Chain A
Amino acid sequence: MIELDSITRSFQVGDQSVRALRGVSVTIAAGEFVSIMGPSGSGKSTLLNLLGLLDRSDSGMYRLDGLDVTALTDAEAARVRREKIGFVFQFFHLVPRLSAADNVALPMMLAGVQPTLRKERVARLLADVGLSQRASHLPGQLSGGQLQRVAIARAMSMNPTLLLADEPTGNLDRSTGRDVLTLLEELNRRGTTLIVVTHDQEIGARAGRRIAMEDGQVVADSCPSGEGP
């Protein structure tokens, strides 16, 4: 499903060029659960942003579902994000003035889904993450674990094939983090490809495939695609 070939990405900081990714080549099959680990600054978030089409590589090739997405226009990239990709962030990123239900509905709103259909799906998504009772609560009235579950419901609202999570448990206590990961694993079991960036060894170990990064490069890959999980 994902093919990365010699991806590089550098950032200009002042008059210095920081090479965040130096030639990353990875292939990930549909339905895999992949964890990406590595020290801070090793390029994990940069890689995830590239995978989610929030950022572009300087060179290299990225194929998503057989489609070359390296040179998509802004509108085309937005469309791919909308239809295929869900994001979960460390800091949840819920819109504070919108209720849990409205936050979950946001991607469908952007995609132009009819309000009645939207309502139905929001109800089901919130039920899936066990938050039916909190539909009308504002983010300020929810705990960290609940916020992340709302964010996961939102990420799944357009039924994406690829779920990208950047340190989804980084802001949660250990047991809440475990619950959130269980929820993500459940989604993966239902067929969604799951890529999780994490610092947590325990969480990393639960992934079917573990990729280790260092200094902008993949230094270890427990189970490269092709050799099969």
Chain B
Amino acid sequence: MTSRDTFSLAWGSLAHQPGRTLLIALAMSIGVASVVVLTALGEGARRYVLDQFASLGTGLLIVIPGRAETSGGAPGVLSGQTTRDLTLADADAVARLRGVERVAPLNVGVAQVSRGGLSREAVLLGSTASLLEIRHMRLIQGHYLPAGPSDQATQVCVLGLRIRAELFGQANALGEWLRIGDRRFRVIGVLATQGQQMGFDSDETVAIPVAAAQQLFNTASLFRILVEARGRDAVAPVKEDLLALLKARHENDADVTVITQDAVLATFDRIFTALTLAVSGIAAISLGVAGVLIMNVMLVSVAQRRSEIGLLKALGATASQVRDLFLAEAGLIAALGAVIGLLLGLAASFVLGRIYPVLPITPPLWAMAAAVTTALVAALLFAWLPARKAARLDAALALARR
């Protein structure tokens, strides 16, 4: 028998019971669709996070005070209590290392920002001119923090877009004065919108020179030192030199942690890939459930079609032809379910993409291929038993009406 005939016979028997066929296909399709949607979401989240980090630049090193037990952890947002503090002098020393393009010391805190009667809380970033380049930010107005020695506490500030809007409305902000804590600062620039970065929304920040921030917060320590190496290849040697330098400066105590962009990226990549696989693996279990359903329905069908099977054998069908007929039925149902499932999954992904426009939600090809393959394999595996049962049926007995 040609495989075309096998499939057309199998299809005929499926089409004869459209309700039953559709129900099983639907069960299959739900499994396929959930694998597609969940991997799309997982991949979307992974790409979103990786893109966010990549936008920080690939040559980035982050120096954190204190010894970290694990390597490659995400930078905490508001912490700074450690044995020995990082200082502005440390940052300046790092800037002189070979292979370092630029360095931005960073202090972070929350402060009340007010102008006239308007006042609100803002995330205050104390840094230097280099922060703009290191964090790939853009200005829509004015200048960023002034270049020059990092210990110069010029009373100027650069506003995030939302802070500017809330304090100034439609009015011009450039050159105006406002109050941060108990000091007055002059607005010299406004940041373009940037989205989330390292845990802050740049629209909600106010940047001031790091020395001014240290006076404001009454501290001599730094929250982070951001270091940009000259290209990706320089990252590893710079990291080594940097650790050696800071160890020497800190009385031979290796009490800082350096996170590199690559390590962070790799960690996030691993975490998200593992999550995506786990979640889609759970979704794939529903394909196994659909497989059990197929097995059940096929067992009933073999029992109902005993005389038809006996007849086929009397007409010269071999056991393997009978088996293949039933496997073809299972395969066709699974294929039907897979097609419906892919369509459902793509539609759902599209809708989710509309609801969460920041996530790049497209189901990965490998996931679609894996879902379809799993559906087919599950169907054939679970159909094997009923198909073999049909193939082994005693034809004489099946044809007799006793």
- Whether A110 sits at the interface, judged by CB under 8 Å, is yes
- Whether B5 sits at the interface, judged by CB under 8 Å, is yes
Which chain B residues in 7-38 approach chain A with CB under 8 Å? Answer: 9, 12-13, 16
CA distance in complex: A78, B314 (Å): 8
Determine, out of B270-278, B283-291, B393-401, the stretch whose residues face the partner at the interface. Answer: B393-401
- Whether B2 sits at the interface, judged by CB under 8 Å, is yes
CA distance in complex: A79, B318 (Å): 8
- Give the shortest distance, in Å, between B314 (CB) and chain A (any CB): 5
CA distance in complex: A154, B314 (Å): 11
In the complex, which residue of chain A has the Cβ closest to the Cβ of B316? A82
In the complex, which residue of chain B has the Cβ closest to the Cβ of A111? B316
Report whether A75 and B2 are in contact in the complex, using a CB–CB cutoff of 8 Å: no
Report whether B315 and A82 are in contact in the complex, using a CB–CB cutoff of 8 Å: yes
Report whether A81 and B314 are in contact in the complex, using a CB–CB cutoff of 8 Å: yes
The answer to whether residues A154 and B396 also contact, given A93-B307, A97-B12 and a CB cut-off of 8 A, is no
Q: Which residues of A are found within 8 Å of B395, using beta-carbon distances?
A: 54-55
CA distance in complex: A89, B395 (Å): 13
The answer to whether residues A78 and B317 also contact, given A93-B307, A109-B1, A112-B1 and a CB cut-off of 8 A, is yes
Q: Which residues of B are found within 8 Å of A111, using beta-carbon distances?
A: 1, 316
CA distance in complex: A54, B309 (Å): 12
Chain B residues within 8 Å of chain A by Cβ, number: 27
Which chain A residues in 69-116 approach chain B with CB under 8 Å? Answer: 74-75, 78-79, 81-83, 87, 89, 91, 93, 95, 97-98, 106-107, 109-112
CA distance in complex: A45, B399 (Å): 11
Report whether A79 and B316 are in contact in the complex, using a CB–CB cutoff of 8 Å: yes
- Whether B201 sits at the interface, judged by CB under 8 Å, is no
- Give the shortest distance, in Å, between B304 (CB) and chain A (any CB): 12
Q: Which residues of B are found within 8 Å of A75, using beta-carbon distances?
A: 318-320
Q: Which residues of B are found within 8 Å of A54, using beta-carbon distances?
A: 313-314, 395-396, 399
Report whether A97 and B16 are in contact in the complex, using a CB–CB cutoff of 8 Å: yes
Which chain A residues in 12-61 approach chain B with CB under 8 Å? Answer: 45-46, 49, 52, 54-55
Report whether A52 and B315 are in contact in the complex, using a CB–CB cutoff of 8 Å: no
- Whether A213 sits at the interface, judged by CB under 8 Å, is no
CA distance in complex: A58, B194 (Å): 87
- Give the shortest distance, in Å, between B43 (CB) and chain A (any CB): 44
Report whether A78 and B12 are in contact in the complex, using a CB–CB cutoff of 8 Å: no
- Whether A158 sits at the interface, judged by CB under 8 Å, is yes
Report whether A109 and B401 are in contact in the complex, using a CB–CB cutoff of 8 Å: no
The answer to whether residues A95 and B311 also contact, given A45-B400, A54-B396, A110-B1 and a CB cut-off of 8 A, is yes
CA distance in complex: A74, B395 (Å): 11
Q: Which residues of A are found within 8 Å of B321, using beta-carbon distances?
A: 78, 110
CA distance in complex: A95, B321 (Å): 17
In the complex, which residue of chain B has the Cβ closest to the Cβ of A164? B314
Q: Which residues of A are found within 8 Å of B312, using beta-carbon distances?
A: 106, 110
Q: Which residues of A are found within 8 Å of B313, using beta-carbon distances?
A: 54, 78, 81
- Give the shortest distance, in Å, between B80 (CB) and chain A (any CB): 78
A109 partner, pick from B5, B308, B318, B400, beta carbons under 8 A: B5
- Give the shortest distance, in Å, between B315 (CB) and chain A (any CB): 4
Interface centre among B317, B321, B401 (most CB of A within 10 A): B317
CA distance in complex: A52, B316 (Å): 10
CA distance in complex: A45, B400 (Å): 9
CA distance in complex: A143, B16 (Å): 22
CA distance in complex: A119, B76 (Å): 77
CA distance in complex: A35, B313 (Å): 24
The answer to whether residues A95 and B1 also contact, given A82-B316, A111-B316 and a CB cut-off of 8 A, is no
Which chain B residues in 344-402 approach chain A with CB under 8 Å? Answer: 394-396, 399-401
Report whether B396 and A106 are in contact in the complex, using a CB–CB cutoff of 8 Å: no
Report whether A81 and B316 are in contact in the complex, using a CB–CB cutoff of 8 Å: yes
In the complex, which residue of chain B has the Cβ closest to the Cβ of A84? B316
Report whether B399 and A106 are in contact in the complex, using a CB–CB cutoff of 8 Å: no
- Give the shortest distance, in Å, between A175 (CB) and chain B (any CB): 24
Report whether A91 and B401 are in contact in the complex, using a CB–CB cutoff of 8 Å: yes
B318 partner, pick from A78, A91, A97, beta carbons under 8 A: A78
Report whether A83 and B316 are in contact in the complex, using a CB–CB cutoff of 8 Å: yes
The answer to whether residues A95 and B314 also contact, given A75-B320, A110-B321, A112-B1 and a CB cut-off of 8 A, is no
B9 partner, pick from A55, A91, A109, A154, beta carbons under 8 A: A109
Provide 30 A-B residue pairs closer than 8 Å at the C-beta atoms, listed in order of the A residue: A45-B400, A49-B396, A52-B314, A54-B314, A54-B395, A54-B396, A55-B394, A55-B395, A74-B319, A75-B319, A78-B316, A78-B319, A79-B318, A81-B315, A81-B316, A82-B316, A83-B316, A87-B315, A89-B399, A93-B308, A97-B16, A107-B315, A107-B316, A109-B9, A110-B312, A110-B316, A110-B317, A110-B321, A112-B2, A158-B316
Kindly list 9 other residue pairs between chains A and B, CB separation below 8 angstroms, not including A81-B315, A89-B399, A112-B5.
A45-B400, A74-B318, A75-B318, A78-B321, A79-B318, A87-B315, A93-B308, A110-B316, A158-B316
The chain A residues found within 8 Å of chain B, CB to CB, are: 45-46, 49, 52, 54-55, 74-75, 78-79, 81-83, 87, 89, 91, 93, 95, 97-98, 106-107, 109-112, 154, 158
